[in-house]
Amino acid sequence: MSDTRLNKYIASSGLCSRRKADELIESGVVMVNGKKVTELGFSVKPKDKVFVNGKLIHPVKHEYYRFYKPAGYITTADDEKGRKTIYDLLPENLHKLKPVGRLDKDSTGLIILTNDGDLINELTHPSAKVPKLYRVSINGKISQKDIDTMYKGIEIEPGKIAYAQVDVLDFDNSSTVMEIVLHQGLNRQIRKMFEHLGFEVVTLKRVQHATITLDGLKRGEFKPIKPGQIKDLRNFLNRIASKNA
Task: Burial-class residue 99 by CB neighbours within 10 Å (0-12, 13-18, 19+).
Answer: buried
Q: Between the CA of residue 26 and those of 29, 31, 57, 85, 244, what are the distances in Å?
A: 8, 11, 18, 34, 27
The one-letter amino acid at 66: R
Q: Select which of 22, 104, 106, 232 is catalytic.
A: 104
Cα–Cα distance, 173 to 220 (Å, whole number)? 33
Name every residue whose Cβ is closer than 8 Å to that of residue 227 and which is 6 or more positions away in sequence: none
For the question of residue 170 being annotated catalytic, the response is no
Position 228, amino acid: G
Residues in Cβ contact with 69 at an 8 Å cutoff, skipping those fewer than 6 apart:
75, 86, 103, 107, 108, 109, 110, 111, 219
Q: Which residues contact 34 (CB under 8 A, 6 or more apart)?
A: 49
Measure the CA–CA gap between 135 and 180, rounded to whole angstroms. 6
Catalytic residues: 104
